């Protein structure tokens, strides 16, 4: 079932996570953002823009899961592009989202 059709500037979906309200967060690789989607309505309800385009994944963490950690990539970028994208490959901490994540499931090995 199609949940959401990415806008052109959002580019391509990559890593995802769910928040405590059941909303889906999607890292948009080459889109420089993480978007929050309401799976009930299929609408984008929040956008977090980041200072580099190759956003690869997102997850909630911190003491009470109120922080979002976002990864980015630098692989495949040539020297000229890397000079223009100094934040490529960094990990970002996003606060003040107004929503918390949920603890991950642990499985016995």
DSSP 41: T
Instruction: Note down pLDDT in tens along the chain; length 109 residues.
Output: 888 999 999 999 999 999 999 999 999 999 999 999 999 999 999 999 999 999 999 999 999 999 999 999 988 888 888 888 999 999 999 999 999 999 888 887 7
Which residues neighbour 6 within 8 Å (Cβ) at sequence distance 6 or greater?
12, 13, 28, 31
Residue with tokens 């889906």: 24
The one catalytic residue among 14, 19, 30, 75: 14
Tell me if residue 64 is catalytic: no
**Domain 8-95 listed as CATH 1.10.287:** no
Cα gap 22→105, rounded to integer Å: 15
pTM (whole model) above 0.85: yes
The domain segmentation of the chain, as residue ranges, is 8-95
14 is in an annotated binding site: yes
The secondary element (H helix, E strand) that includes residue 82 is helix 79-84
């Amino acid at each position: 079932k199609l949940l959401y059709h990415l806008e052109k500037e959002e580019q391509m979906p990559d890593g995802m996570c769910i928040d405590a309200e059941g909303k889906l967060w999607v890292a948009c690789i080459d889109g420089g953002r993480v978007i929050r989607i309401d799976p009930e309505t299929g609408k984008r309800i929040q956008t977090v823009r980041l200072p580099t385009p190759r956003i690869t994944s997102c997850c909630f963490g911190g003491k009470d899961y109120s922080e979002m950690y976002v990864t980015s990539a630098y692989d495949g970028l040539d020297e000229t592009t890397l000079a223009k994208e100094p934040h490529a490959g960094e990990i970002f901490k996003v606060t003040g989202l107004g929503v918390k994540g949920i603890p991950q499931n642990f499985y016995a090995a």
